[in-house]
Structure 1
Amino acid sequence: MSKRRKQHRATAAKPEKTKVRDVYVPRPFADLPNEGDWIAMRELLPAATAPLTVKPEYADKLGDRQLTLATVLPLAWPAMSRADGQVFVAMQRQFQSGDVSRDIAASLLAALDAEPGHPVAVPARPGEGPRMQDVIELKSLEVSIHDTFDFWLGEDTDTDDPQVSASMERANASIYPTSRLDAAKSAYWCQTPDNTHVRIVLEEDEDAALAALARLRAAEELKLVPDSKFAGMFRTHGVLIPVWDLAADTVADDCEKPVTEFAVRYAEALASTEPLTSAERRAKDGLVGRQLNLR
């Protein structure tokens, strides 16, 4: 056999690798109810859950089981099918493709197919397929914030097991106090070891939101209260999340009125159709320099 034929046969014998097509979606949670809260669960909240319902074509797979969206699951699992039949899907999964919504939907569908009480096998990069917008059916995302990760545990979990107890203790120690504010959509107060913050997920187009914030900064109306500090903003999933530093002893209730007043100022600035003034353009440049990209 000639050398060329040998090389041809060797090449033909090698199985072709399946290439997973990865498409970047800059705003993966668009068109989901309460987009800002999806992003908050993905990027801001330490321990939170929200009930989910699926579209009719997936109802048979779910059956009478309860389906819950969670910020994070044990060992950073992307999904969990507990022995009691309850199904969890995590927003803060360890691996991600260019479309986070597709990743989470793949985790959800894998959990529905998994046997209760068994690990859920989820591909790191699932490729093409349904997104959360295609799978779930909700009028709103009802987020509950928790002080502990006890929602991980089923009724049959042995909480006296030293390993279980130690694991939960470590996880709970990572939670910082967080409260939802009623004054604005997707607004949260939190107290980290270093600072007390207010963070608001702005659902508007990021260019429009940036222009509105620039108008407020130029007019010296960006602070929440006189002794607060505008710390900057996160840029993630196609939106902006401004962050304010507050006095250490500021509690969540203290923030409701200032955030309400900011929301009014922001809405007025957002509605303006006038070109940015030179001062507002300088303010915009300053804001861009204080952005932190999370994606």
Structure 2
Amino acid sequence: MGKKSRVKHRSQQETATPGEVGPRQPCPCGSGRRYKACHGSADGPAPAYVARPFAGLADEADVIAMREMVPAATAPVRLRDGVTDADRAVVLCSLLPGAAPGLVRQDGTIWLGLQVQHAFGDPSRELAAVLEKALAAEPGDVVGLTAAPAEGPRLQDLLTDDPLEVTVHRGFDFWVADVDDPTGAIASSLEAANAAAHPAARLTSVDAAYWTDVSTKEHLRWVMPHDDEEQLLSALARLHAAGKDSLVEGSRLVGMFRTNGVLVPVWDLPLGTGAEVLEEPAAAFRKHLDAALADDSPLSTEERSARSGLANRQLTIR
């Protein structure tokens, strides 16, 4: 009886009048959220979700890798002419002390942390807002966001199109490279971060491919920002069916995940492989993949089966 009453009450509260959008129906703005959680919310519309936030950035794939899967890495960037204080030194960092979004160093250099989940819908806009706040902050200030940023530039609007020079670090000692004897909270944070960081390396023969050792196994994770995801999936399937997707003996393309709007194929590697021996086979695989991407012939039965298997082993990470 009580359950029926609750159902009846909810029905009375959430049923829309003709011509209106029901609270539990998709919001007509196209966000994918229910109306009551978006434009029907008392707090106003939820932030718009941007599926591929870093599209258009120079080396988009490396930015994604630093944000999603590389423990400790840095890459200096330059501000566009016309940006306030455009000559300031800015460094993209995978992770900052305390997971801070931004930090102004004593010499004025701005460190911008990529591994920060503000969850306001557009990581590029969020990072740009942090960068703008840091440009106006004082040396030693930690900068972050407490609310969704207002309309404004995105990271693509603030940075030049120069290729990134990514440095992968063994740990986070770069945090205190200019500190003689770190103590207290800084030392504790550094010790904890170093203990959690798995060894990683960026391959030099191809773009945005990163080896890592997670103790129980090794992986190669390769960010592939192809505009046509279906075409990329078909090309990978062609190589899988032809037996051309193994990098070294004992390696295996085990699947892929999707993050920031792009696909990241993942290989399992035998323990002890390391990054260096992957350089030549990765370059060869890149050539095979380019040829497969250019092949527009229909997939064979075996290739369709391989494609289905790869598609079923996808995981989407927002």
| TM class by smaller structure | 0.7 to 0.9
Secondary structure of residue in 2 paired with 1:189: strand
Secondary structure of residue in 2 paired with 1:57: coil
Cα distance between partner residues in 2 of 1:254 and 1:245: 14
Cα distance between partner residues in 2 of 1:220 and 1:148: 36
CA displacement at 1:181 relative to structure 2:
0.9
Q: Which has the higher contact order (CA 8 A, sep 6+)?
A: 1
2:231 is aligned to 208
Secondary structure of residue in 1 paired with 2:131: helix
**Deviation per residue, 1:176-227 (Å, 9 max, x gap):** 1111112211111111122111111112122221111111122222221231
1:123 is aligned to 146
Secondary structure of residue in 1 paired with 2:71: coil
Equivalences for residues 108-257 of structure 1 within 5 A: 108-153=131-176, 155=178, 157=179, 159-205=181-227, 206-257=229-280
CA displacement at 1:282 relative to structure 2:
1.6
CA displacement at 1:267 relative to structure 2:
0.9
CA displacement at 1:158 relative to structure 2:
6.2
Structure 2 residue identity aligned to 1:61: D
Secondary structure of residue in 1 paired with 2:82: helix
Cα distance between partner residues in 2 of 1:166 and 1:290: 39
Cα distance between partner residues in 1 of 2:241 and 2:153: 44
The 3 A distance-change label for structure 1 pair 269 and 160 is closer
Q: TM-score, normalised by structure 1?
A: 0.87
List gaps (5 residues or longer) in structure 1: 1-16
Structure 1 residue identity aligned to 2:188: A
Residue 34 (structure 1) aligned to one of 59, 62, 81: 59
List gaps (5 residues or longer) in structure 2: 1-41
Contact 1:89–1:108, Cα closer than 8 Å, also in 2: yes
Q: How many residues align?
A: 276
Matched, 1:50 2:75: yes
CA displacement at 1:121 relative to structure 2:
3.9
Cα distance between partner residues in 2 of 1:256 and 1:103: 35
Contact 1:61–1:113, Cα closer than 8 Å, also in 2: no
Contact 1:76–1:94, Cα closer than 8 Å, also in 2: no
Cα distance between partner residues in 1 of 2:303 and 2:46: 42
The 3 A distance-change label for structure 1 pair 226 and 36 is same
Q: Percent identity?
A: 44
Contact 1:28–1:100, Cα closer than 8 Å, also in 2: yes
Secondary structure of residue in 2 paired with 1:285: helix
Matched, 1:61 2:85: yes
Cα distance between partner residues in 1 of 2:260 and 2:283: 25
Q: TM-score, normalised by structure 2?
A: 0.81
Contact 1:81–1:117, Cα closer than 8 Å, also in 2: yes
Secondary structure of residue in 2 paired with 1:28: coil
CA displacement at 1:228 relative to structure 2:
0.9
Cα distance between partner residues in 1 of 2:214 and 2:147: 31
Matched, 1:263 2:286: yes
The 3 A distance-change label for structure 1 pair 136 and 52 is same
Secondary structure of residue in 1 paired with 2:211: strand
Cα distance between partner residues in 1 of 2:304 and 2:125: 37
Secondary structure of residue in 2 paired with 1:268: helix
**Deviation per residue, 1:61-112 (Å, 9 max, x gap):** 355x421110011111111112332211111113222211111111111111
The 3 A distance-change label for structure 1 pair 244 and 37 is same
The 3 A distance-change label for structure 1 pair 121 and 286 is closer
CA displacement at 1:21 relative to structure 2:
5.5
1:273 is aligned to 296
Structure 1 residue identity aligned to 2:156: Q
Cα distance between partner residues in 1 of 2:203 and 2:112: 25
**Deviation per residue, 1:123-143 (Å, 9 max, x gap):** 342142110111111321111
Cα distance between partner residues in 2 of 1:163 and 1:113: 26
Contact 1:212–1:269, Cα closer than 8 Å, also in 2: yes
